[in-house]
Structure 1
């Protein structure tokens, strides 16, 4: 697969050489506090996930690399559920606050609708991380409300909120932007 290029980013399949950068990211509790990857606690846990998921799911899992210095700063992935793709993303803390998630996300939405053929895209976030919700809105997604509530091992109660976008709305928005 050819990389998907945006103004500042190259979005491409995860490579074996991404191991150390991705491990540092996914073993950082700040990054994974509300992600499914919080269960990865040790380098051995990460190694297994890296081999069985990140290196094998090349059609749905992508590294985010800066074009300026070719550093892996994060990842985006789709979790397919029938005709819906659920987006998950994470960035290294040094890349937070630069607009990279929305920039990569717009490109990933095009890929999800045009290449993977999804009819709907969703993204979920924890209420403790409202910045993720703002990013989803910037990407043109619509607030879908609360999905569930769960309690972390720490005792913290987390509300999971969702945004979504239908392919027909995405196409209409693209036509309006082009016109």
Structure 2
């Protein structure tokens, strides 16, 4: 994939030089506590994922670079499942609350539908993180409700909720109505 630029960000394949920036994000338990990376807790386990996933899955994984600082402030990725792209994203805490995920999301929806030819893009979030649900709504996605319930080993129940956007809805401009 080539780089995609938005007003404030550059979305691009990750490079070896991004290791430390992305490691700081993924090893922050507050950032990843509701993502598939919540069990990545050591520099060694991060480096393995970085080398085997983030650097090799360049069609599906992207760094989010701040144009001003030129540092990676987060990541965005698709996990393909048949004709659906299931997305995961995270931003470092200093990037929270600036509207970056919706900004990146709109650009990545276009990429997912036009370049990867997904017919559907889906995203999941934990009920304990309602801000993610609001961002998904801002990206024009439709609320699917609860899809899973799981219990943390330390206790506590998490309800996983989902949103989706179909290619047809995207082509018909329904995502624009949500913005």
**TM interval, short-chain normalised:** over 0.9
Quick one: structure 1 residues 144 and 14, their matched pair in 2 at CA, closer, same or farther if it must change by over 3 Å?
same
Shift of 1:176: 7.5
Shift of 1:33: 0.6
Shift of 1:174: 6.8
1:34 paired to 2:39: no
Alpha-carbon distance in structure 1 between the residues aligned to 2:94 and 2:49? 23
- Structure 2 equivalent of residue 110 of structure 1: 110
Q: Secondary structure at the match of 2:74?
A: strand
Unaligned runs of 5+ in 2: none
- Structure 2 equivalent of residue 171 of structure 1: 171
Quick one: structure 1 residues 25 and 175, their matched pair in 2 at CA, closer, same or farther if it must change by over 3 Å?
closer
**Offset from partner CA, 1:55-108 (integer Å, 9 cap, x none):** 000000000001122111000000000000001000000000000000000000
**Matches of residues 129-140 of structure 1 in structure 2 within 5 Å?**
129-140=129-140
Q: CA RMSD in A?
A: 1.3
Alpha-carbon distance in structure 2 between the residues aligned to 1:67 and 1:51? 24
Alpha-carbon distance in structure 1 between the residues aligned to 2:76 and 2:142? 19
Q: Secondary structure at the match of 1:87?
A: strand
**Matches of residues 134-153 of structure 1 in structure 2 within 5 Å?**
134-153=134-153
- Structure 2 equivalent of residue 157 of structure 1: 157
Unaligned runs of 5+ in 1: none
Quick one: structure 1 residues 19 and 134, their matched pair in 2 at CA, closer, same or farther if it must change by over 3 Å?
same
Structure 1: which 4+ aligned runs deviate by more than 6 Å?
174-177
Alpha-carbon distance in structure 1 between the residues aligned to 2:176 and 2:86? 25
Quick one: structure 1 residues 149 and 15, their matched pair in 2 at CA, closer, same or farther if it must change by over 3 Å?
same
> TM-score, normalising length from structure 1?
0.96
Q: Secondary structure at the match of 1:36?
A: coil
